[in-house]
Amino acid sequence: MADMRLVVAGASGRMGQTLIRMIAETPGVVLAGAIERTGSPAIGQDAGRLAGLDANGVVVTDDPLSLLTSAEGIIDFTAPAATVELAALAAQMRIVHVIGTTGLSKEDFARLKAAARHAVIVQSGNMSLGVNLLAAVVKRVAKSLDADFDIEVLEMHHNRKVDAPSGTALMLGQAAAEGRGIDLDANADRVRDGHPGAREKGHIGFATLRGGTVVGEHSVIFAGENERLEFSHKAESRTMFARGALKAVLWGFGRKPGYYSMADVLGLGDF
Ligand SMILES: NC(=O)C1=CN([C@@H]2O[C@H](COP(=O)(O)OP(=O)(O)OC[C@H]3O[C@@H](n4cnc5c(N)ncnc54)[C@H](OP(=O)(O)O)[C@@H]3O)[C@@H](O)[C@H]2O)C=CC1
Ligand SMILES: O=C(O)C1=N[C@H](C(=O)O)C[C@H](O)C1
């Protein structure tokens, strides 16, 4: 069978470069195109060189339409506005769209779900096996512990990250809310400052740290009376996010259109 032809969006970004390197060493996939923002200094450069490899003849462009007509999948770790635009194009071409971008709004999610009527979308705030397993564990633990246990989600990332709380933190908060049978939006304390008053029983709190080159660290804390459970994941490089994204795009190839998660890809739905 021919290799699956992939386009990488955000090609000069941290994840884009990691993906280009990983595609080069993964059987069954080939880099067919690389996209960057209009005006990016990466436009016109060789994507292999950009990622620290030998030249591969794939020139970075800001014109997704022409690339997507001859591709079977797009992997997108960019920014919310770009992702929503790319989802409409991927739906037009009926190709697999793997979305790692975080910081998406409710309106963005609604647009992605509309696009998924025509294309396979796999979206996750974290593509690693470890975090998706952690989410399953958190959901299960939250089901067993009542509101006497306060749930707090703590995350730390590098100083270049632009969204908060992280996509992963929100995903873990959502898992905890589902386990407890509550609506996250109605019960989330995303920011505390000044004099917010005593902690509201049953709420799920978020705390955000930023600094240095930390790839991504997340903890979910269940704090009860005189005892505390803590579940953590520490990412040591970006390679497992890229590996997860490639697993997702191959999984999505030939599948019927729909909105899927990494839990679907990894078979963790009924964990
Ligand atoms: N789900 C997961 O497992 C993971 C998700 N992420 C998420 O992925 C996203 C990217 O992260 P990271 O690689 O660290 O960020 P970077 O800022 O390093 O990379 C993003 C890239 O996308 C480019 N970009 C912006 N707009 C467009 C556009 N319209 N078309 C094409 N490219 C565009 C940016 O260009 P420019 O800089 O010129 O604006 C930049 O090169 C973030 O939302 C992050 O949270 C990250 C790691 C794992
Ligand atoms: O921006 C990042 O770097 C990361 N973003 C994702 C998130 O928002 O959770 C995943 C990972 O933690 C790295």
pLDDT digits (tens, 9 = 90+) for 157-215: 999 999 999 999 999 999 999 999 999 999 999 999 999 999 999 999 999 999 999 99
Gap between the Cα atoms of 206 and 170, Å rounded: 8
For ligand 2, say whether the CB of 216 is within 6 Å of any of its atoms: yes
Rounded (5°) CA angle 34-35-36: 130
ipTM surpasses cut 0.90 = yes
| Catalytic residue check, 195 | no
Which of 139, 161, 233, 247 is an active site residue?
161
CA of 44 to the centre of ligand 2 (A): 28
Asked whether residue 18 is marked as a ligand-binding residue, the answer is no
| pLDDT > 90 fraction of the chain, expressed in percent and rounded | 98
Task: Enumerate residues 6+ apart whose C-beta is below 8 A from 42.
Answer: 11, 12, 36, 50, 60
How many CB atoms within 10 Å of residue 30? Answer: 17
CB 33 within 8 A of CB 48: no
Q: What pLDDT does residue 1 have?
A: 82
Spans of the chain below 50 pLDDT: none
pLDDT, position 270:
62
| Strand-by-strand arrangement of the 228-235 sheet | 188-189, 204-210, 150-157, 216-223, 228-235
- Out of 97, 139, 157, 218, pick the active-site residue: 157
For 122, the token pair is 């796999």
Ligand 2, atom nearest to 161 Cα = 1
Strands (DSSP E) contained in the chain are 4-9, 29-35, 60-61, 73-76, 96-99, 120-123, 150-157, 188-189, 204-210, 216-223, 228-235, 258-260
Q: Does residue 203 carry a catalytic annotation?
A: no
Rounded CA-CA distance 105/25 in Å is 34
* Tokens matching residue 246: 């490639």
pLDDT the model gives residue 271: 60
Contact between 15 and 239 (Cβ < 8 Å): no
Output the CA 77–ligand 1 centroid distance in Å: 5
CA of 100 to the centre of ligand 1 (A): 9
- Chain centre to alpha carbon of residue 229: 26
User: What per-residue confidence (pLDDT) applies to 269?
Assistant: 75
State the distance from the centre of ligand 2 to the C-alpha of 158, rounded, in angstroms: 9
Pocket of ligand 1 (CB under 6 A): 9-10, 12-16, 35-37, 40, 77-79, 82, 100-103, 124-127, 167, 241
Residue 125 Cβ < 6 Å to ligand 2:
yes
Q: Any binding-site annotation on 21?
A: no
Q: How far is CA 5 from each of CA 144, 183, 226, rounded to the nearest angstrom?
A: 45, 40, 55
